[in-house]
């Protein structure tokens, strides 16, 4: 995998096929400023094109996944600056990564931190994590997808309450509401759990995994009829892959499949 070194990230491959990206700007509780996002986009693109990588885990520290967009960086922006540069649009690059990303959330995931966590395909957290969209307390609103993704994740009434009050959501509550797939007892268990899930995903056909992620994501944008049609077409297309033949023949022969990733 990549040998580039980053100023605000730690990158490793702790399990076969798994890239671990750790946000590392401890002095600012991993507040998300442009240089960090540029590094994050760079490493995600490299991992996405790395043939040895099958899944990615994104985490922060025990104290903070990320405490939001960097308030000090953006406080003096004008409308013209923000609109003119399409401020924060570059954060969405993460949603164009084809391989599954699991966010392992410990500590604060506030504002842009919560939004970044929700851009991942699977959210894991520890029970003591703190999610929230506190932008209303700063005289503004979520700007990196929070109003849309939180509402899809937990429903309109709960999302309205969270966004209009700025009240936080505990990790325990996040899992009960479906914002997170699981809440673990400790930060270490959360990261280990994410790595184990990523390792499992990385053990499957990369073609099938990519297709599965693509069709699930379509459900967020399409109505049920178009979504089911899209799924069926992609399902049909996988009969053209070697891995479908390998997987189904292995089942019939009672053998373990050896994926070709083709």
Q: Which is nearer to ligand CAA, 36 or 144 (CB)?
A: 144
Interface with ligand CAA (CB under 6 A), residue from 15, 40, 43, 70: 70
Residue 112 bears catalytic tag: yes
- State the Cα–Cα distance between residues 240 and 170, nearest whole angstrom: 45
Interface with ligand CAA (CB under 6 A), residue from 53, 57, 144, 207: 144
> Tokens 């899209």 — which residue?
230
Cα dist from 240 to 51, 227, 230, 235, 237, whole Å = 20, 21, 16, 10, 6
| Cβ at position 91, least distance to ligand CAA in Å | 7
- State the Cα–Cα distance between residues 63 and 148, nearest whole angstrom: 26
Give the interface segment with ligand CAA, choosing from 14-22, 138-146, 157-165, 208-216 (CB under 6 A): 138-146
3-state helix, strand, coil in the chain (%, to 5): 50, 15, 30
> Tokens 């990523």 — which residue?
198
Question: What are the start-end ranges of the E strands in the chain?
Answer: 9-15, 18-23, 55-59, 64-66, 101-105, 108-110, 122-126, 130-132, 169-170, 182-184
| Cβ at position 218, least distance to ligand CAA in Å | 25
User: What x/- string results for residues 11 through 40 when contact with ligand CAA is judged by CB under 6 A?
Assistant: -----------------xx-x---------
For position 228 contacting ligand CAA by CB under 6 A, the verdict is: no
Q: Which is nearer to ligand CAA, 39 or 70 (CB)?
A: 70
For position 201 contacting ligand CAA by CB under 6 A, the verdict is: no
For position 110 contacting ligand CAA by CB under 6 A, the verdict is: yes
User: Which residues are the active-site residues?
Assistant: 69, 112, 115, 135
């Amino acid at each position: 995998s990549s040998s580039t070194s980053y100023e605000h990230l730690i990158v490793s491959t702790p399990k076969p096929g798994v890239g671990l990206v750790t946000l590392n700007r401890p002095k600012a509780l991993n507040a998300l400023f442009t240089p960090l996002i540029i590094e994050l986009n760079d490493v995600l693109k490299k991992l996405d094109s790395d043939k040895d990588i099958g899944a990615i885990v994104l985490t922060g520290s025990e104290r903070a996944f990320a405490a939001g967009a960097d308030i000090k960086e953006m406080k003096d922006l004008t409308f013209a600056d923000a609109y003119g540069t399409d401020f924060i649009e570059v954060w969405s690059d993460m949603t164009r990564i084809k391989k599954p990303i699991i966010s392992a959330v410990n500590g604060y995931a506030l504002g842009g931190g919560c939004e970044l966590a929700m851009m991942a395909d699977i959210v894991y957290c520890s029970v003591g994590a703190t999610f929230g969209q506190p932008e209303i307390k700063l005289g503004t609103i979520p700007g990196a997808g929070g109003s849309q993704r939180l509402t899809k994740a937990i429903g309109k009434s709960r999302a309205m309450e969270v966004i209009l009050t700025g009240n936080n959501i505990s990790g325990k509550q996040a899992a009960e509401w479906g914002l997170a797939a699981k809440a673990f007892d400790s930060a270490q268990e959360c990261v280990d759990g994410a790595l184990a899930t990523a390792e499992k995903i990385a053990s499957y056909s990369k073609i099938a995994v990519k297709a599965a992620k693509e069709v699930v994501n379509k459900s967020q944008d399409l109505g049920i009829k178009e979504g089911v049609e899209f799924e069926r077409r992609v399902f049909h297309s996988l009969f053209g892959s070697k891995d479908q033949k390998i997987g189904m023949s292995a089942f019939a022969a009672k053998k373990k499949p050896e994926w070709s990733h083709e």
